[in-house]
Structure 1
Amino acid sequence: MSGTVTVPSGTDLICGYFLAADGEMVRLSFDDIAMVQERTDGVLWLHFNLVSVRARHWLERQSGLDPFVSEILLDAHDDRTRLERLDDGFVAVLSDMHYDFKFEPSDIGTLRLFMDGRRIVSCRRHPLKAVDRLRKALNDGARYATTSEMMADLVGHLAETLSDVAASVEKDVDTVEDIILAERFLQARKRLGQIRQLIVKLRRHVSPQRQALARLGNSGFDWVSDDDDTYLRHATEKFAGVLYDVEALQDRAKVLQDELLARVADQQNHSLHVLAVVTVIFTPMTLISGIFGMNVAGVPGVAGIEGDHIAFWWVMLLIVLSGALMLFFLRPRR
């Protein structure tokens, strides 16, 4: 355990760190966990890949966690945001962005974790952005004296990740607005629908996450110092700004949707108006051509009647004149 073990992402233990009281940081492999699991002279963070059978087995059988905690950490179906207080810590289900986020509603992932005074045990099924930011911060020299201090930074990263997504969505909304003004309605309708779905899902995750994490800042645990409690509260309040931005985006997307529908309706009304005008103009022309096309006796111009050699041109002239006459009557009425 004295050396540094590089653990590639995607294995059973994605990353493991033990931050000793003297400031030393030790990176852990899966086999090192047993050696530091019971130590109380530092901060332990273990981050697991739930796709791994070995990781799931450790969480269920070897972690020493309460069965209720293990059940929540291993649950593959319930992704609702929650934070449950236990005798000596918290178990939480939080939302984070997939590392390869592509602005799809399904790209909002789930981070599950347990925290007490000496350790944080977290797990996920898909690479997540906020956790990766915390991991990079540790690799770049960040140090934490308590688990609550580390958790406050993680909460801050979660809020920043969601805020970055909200800022990117805002740029996407600007693009959709330009597309609507350019009257490319089919493209705008498709993209705006995706954006609205993403915004709704973001709001559905941010709002309860803010409420849940607020309880973290009012924990009252002995191992959470006043400074750490203030730090946690400050990190949690970042979600208020994110929620405000998401709600503003939701209102703006709704306005754009209304504008799109109004413009499409105007375009359809214009098309129907043109069709109605054309129909009115051609109605007498059609009537005349229909009358002279009847196969009955007595129709002017039929063979055997005087002047039949020019009757066709008289009929054509009558058709044109009727159309011009209808157009003359329609022009003042626009």
Structure 2
Amino acid sequence: MSSFESNDVDLICGYHIPVNGRATPIRMADVPEMLARTDGLLWLHFNLSSQRARHWIAGQEWLDEFVREVLLEGKDTRTRVESVDDGLLTVLSDIHYDLKYEPTDIGTLRLFVNARHLISCRRHPLKATDRLRRALDDGQQFDSTVELLADLVEYLSDTLDSVTHTLADEVDRTEDAILAERFQTGRATLGQVRRMVVHLRRHVAPQRQALGRVSHSNLPWADEDAMARMQNATGKLGDVLYDIEALQDRTKVLQDELSARMAEEQNRNLFLLSWVTVVFAPMTLISGIFGMNVAGLPGVSGHETAFWWVMALIVASGIGMWFLVKPRR
């Protein structure tokens, strides 16, 4: 894991970004000076696990009180894109940096964006913000905070697309296992993939819808090129959502196929068991009849016809049971 994604810091990363210039990394001690400046853009990415970072955000009176509450709220993970004063308040879902392909590997990224500032925070290391940091370190230039947000959404789409393709490959292997009648392996893997796909769709669908509204809105501090960039990034997220929905449909079909094949295997086993029962039934009947000791039965002791009386009782009970359980048309 990169040093950027350490949980032992307050300001995970910060950059002053001159227009058409190379971004300059800044430290926590430089933040007050950078906030006082009016030139360039400023991105501050905070670690919500740090009490110092939370205290700093809570003390920024230039941020609306509602903005500070949402940035610091750790329990509400619903997708949110709202206009607040002169900026956008956004809550997005991103993939954990240490992805293990579990439903819990989807984290929350909270952002406030205005004409000059991008304030973001998270609790768990995330992939998209790490890619944006590396892009700035590599010298990528930005003219507005909307372009920063657009690239962040694009990196998020790339990450989700990579996860979706990995899950699709896993579904391919699961399908091969099912066709090879390795049902236990296929059943366990398919269940895990379905849970992950359902969680992905649950987070990406409202995210695509909310960001779509942003890309078609009129932001006074964003030019046409920046908004076009945002529309392209949102469109890419829509393509990822389409792939996720197609993968979800495919897992449903595979689940039905798995259930049908397991039922077919169970029917074959029951059919084999029925044949074994049929084969051994005459043997059981014969051994039971000739193994009877009717001499000591009450009421028939001393009678030479006792055996035949017992046989008649067996036949009568069999006929009675036949009429009792025979299908009624």
What TM bracket, shorter-length normalisation? 0.7 to 0.9
Tell me what 1:319 maps to.
Answer: none
Summarize the alignment of residues 177-326 of structure 1 with structure 2, pairs less than 5 Å apart.
177-297=175-295
Report the CA distance shift for 1:63/1:157 in structure 2 as closer, same or farther (over 3 A): farther
**What amino acid does structure 2 have at the position aligned with 1:134?**
L
CA separation in 1, counterparts of 2:5 and 2:261? 52
SS in structure 1 of the partner of residue 295 of structure 2: coil
Tell me what 1:153 maps to.
Answer: 151
Query: How large is the Cα RMSD of the aligned pairs?
Result: 1.5
CA separation in 2, counterparts of 1:8 and 1:112? 16
Tell me what 2:100 maps to.
Answer: 102
Report the CA distance shift for 1:172/1:8 in structure 2 as closer, same or farther (over 3 A): closer
Measured after TM superposition, the shift of residue 294 of structure 1 is 1.5
Mapped pair 1:131 → 2:129: yes
Tell me what 1:165 maps to.
Answer: 163
Q: Which 4+ stretches in 1 moved above 4 angstroms?
A: none
What whole-Å deviation, never above 9, does each CA across 1:120-178 have from its counterpart, x for those lacking one?
Answer: 00001111011111011111111212111111111111111111111111001001001
Measured after TM superposition, the shift of residue 32 of structure 1 is 0.9
SS in structure 2 of the partner of residue 110 of structure 1: strand
Of structures 1 and 2, the one with the larger relative CO (CA 8 A, separation 6+) is: 2
CA separation in 2, counterparts of 1:133 and 1:7? 11
Tell me what 2:326 maps to.
Answer: none
What whole-Å deviation, never above 9, does each CA across 1:276-298 have from its counterpart, x for those lacking one?
Answer: 11111111111111112222239
CA separation in 1, counterparts of 2:61 and 2:176? 54
Tell me what 2:6 maps to.
Answer: 9
Summarize the alignment of residues 68-79 of structure 1 with structure 2, pairs less than 5 Å apart.
68-79=66-77
Measured after TM superposition, the shift of residue 22 of structure 1 is 6.2
Report the CA distance shift for 1:24/1:159 in structure 2 as closer, same or farther (over 3 A): closer
Unaligned runs of 5+ in 1: 1-5, 299-334
Tell me what 1:32 maps to.
Answer: 30
Tell me what 1:302 maps to.
Answer: none
Tell me what 1:61 maps to.
Answer: 59
Identical-residue share of aligned pairs (%): 56
Q: Which moved more, 1:20-29 or 1:244-253?
A: 20-29
Report the CA distance shift for 1:51/1:169 in structure 2 as closer, same or farther (over 3 A): same
Report the CA distance shift for 1:22/1:168 in structure 2 as closer, same or farther (over 3 A): closer
CA separation in 2, counterparts of 1:103 and 1:267? 31
TM-score (ref. length: structure 1): 0.85
